[in-house]
Structure 1
Amino acid sequence: MNLPLFPLQMCILPNGYSKLRIFEPRYQRLVKESLKNDLGFGACMLDEDNKTLLPIGTRCNIIDFETLDDGLLGITIVGIDRFELGTYTIEKDGLKRGNVSALPAWQTLPIEAHQQKYTQILQDLLKEYPEHISQYKLDNFMDLSWVCQRWIEILPISPSEKQHCMSAKDPIPTLAMLNDVLK
């Protein structure tokens, strides 16, 4: 699959939501293209130097857009599925377009009693952002894989640490990190 790519300093994972401000013409073009096709676009994190695209990204769809107070375009995106980035090209206006291969979704896993703290702390944190938490269903907080993906999005860890968790076949590496961080 070939997707236009949006390099970001943050990450979004499947079923995650985020808002972005669009001001560069190349990303305005990305938005127009994404709204016309069913594939969406690829969100790729940048490395610690903000120069290199990291190999694991997320295919996203635009679910809402608005004109912001400053006149810029604001979009709301949702993560669809993870991918591995292969080769990419850079077009004349600087828009990157990459060949991506979909990665399998993490299996839905029930939250066990000793893991309830991850859900509770996450819900408490997200309550500070009512517009954000309103995008999620209560059932989502009962799925360990979903909860771990939200933690990857918000933890203040390096892009390489996030990539390590994102590239895993399951949430186990994220759980190990959460155990260390939340002690």
Structure 2
Amino acid sequence: MTTLPLFPLPAVLFPGGEIALRIFEPRYLDMIRDCARDGRGFGICLMLESDDGRAPASPAAIGTLARIVDFNVLEDGLLGILARGEARFRASATHVRSDGLIHADVDMLEPDPVLPVPPEFGLLATILSRYHERAGATFAQHEQSRYDESAWVGFRLAEAFPLSVSERQLLLQTADPLDRLSHLMQWLPRFQDA
């Protein structure tokens, strides 16, 4: 078990994915400084609304370890960072520091097994490949062999499809990459008419 500072967001980060963040609150500026100085990661997790709407929102139990890959100064003068998702974790307890920064005791989850995309999900790999072709240069660098990895295809489609944050969280929490592809295949008809 390890302790991670958390950056709760109304978004989901997947392993291998990237997220651009605008940092302005002092507690997160301090967190980013400490992570950059020590070469440590931080946790990104979906902020869940309370059932009754009165209690404060809380972070989802399953999140993703993120590492800073780039810094920049945004047009408004604020700090911008680019973070890359590495591995999923499960938080067992959270602690709020005096500055409001949430820390969590986490267990890192096993990486998804490397499984080929089964023929019944081949359409998903084809859709992702075509999406990346249309998206241009940033996606052109992916090796063709990645399109035959179930976990990678599932995570990249979870980023690309217009899903709700709760659907993205469900896909992040899904431990079996073939189950993740099955969810995406079931939802596919929704996007074909869009």
Same fold per superposition (TM over 0.5) = yes
Larger radius of gyration: 2
Aligned partners of 2:49 and 2:157: how far apart in 1? Answer: 19
User: In the aligned structure 1, how far is the partner of 2:188 from the partner of 2:14?
Assistant: 21
In structure 1, the partner of 2:14 is 13
How far 1:97 sits from its partner (Å)? 0.9
* Paired residues, number: 183
Structure-1-length-normalised TM-score: 0.87
Indicate which of 76, 81, 84 corresponds to 2:87: 81
**Alpha-carbon offset, residue 155 of structure 1:** 3.6
Q: Is the 8 A contact 2:124 2:185 kept in 1?
A: no
State the TM-score, normalized to the length of structure 2. Answer: 0.82
Counterpart-to-counterpart distance in 2, 1:128 and 1:7: 31
- In structure 1, runs of 5+ residues without a counterpart are none
Instruction: Please tell me whether residue 70 in structure 1 is matched to residue 76 in structure 2.
Output: yes
**Closer, same or farther: CA 83–118 of 1 in aligned 2, 3 Å:** same
1:179 to 164, 181, 185: 185
Aligned to 2:107: 101
Matches within 5 A, 1:98-177: 98-127=104-133, 129-130=135-136, 132-133=138-139, 136-177=142-183
Q: One-letter code of the match for 1:71?
A: G
Residue identity opposite 1:152 in structure 2: A
Aligned-residue RMSD, C-alpha: 2.3
> Is residue 30 from structure 1 mapped to residue 36 from structure 2 by the alignment?
no
Q: Out of 55, 62, 85, which is 1:56 matched to?
A: 62
State the match for 1:2 in structure 2.
Answer: 3
Partners of 2:70 and 2:83 within 8 A in 1: yes
Which residue in 2 is equivalent to 1:42? 43
Identity %: 33
Shift of 1:114: 3.7
Task: Say if 1:128 and 1:65 are closer, same or farther in 2 by CA, change over 3 A.
Answer: farther
Q: 1:136 to 1:86 in 2, by over 3 A?
A: farther
**C-alpha spacing 1:172/1:114, structure 2 compared with 1 (3 Å):** closer
Instruction: Give 5+ residue unaligned stretches, structure 2.
Output: 51-55, 190-194
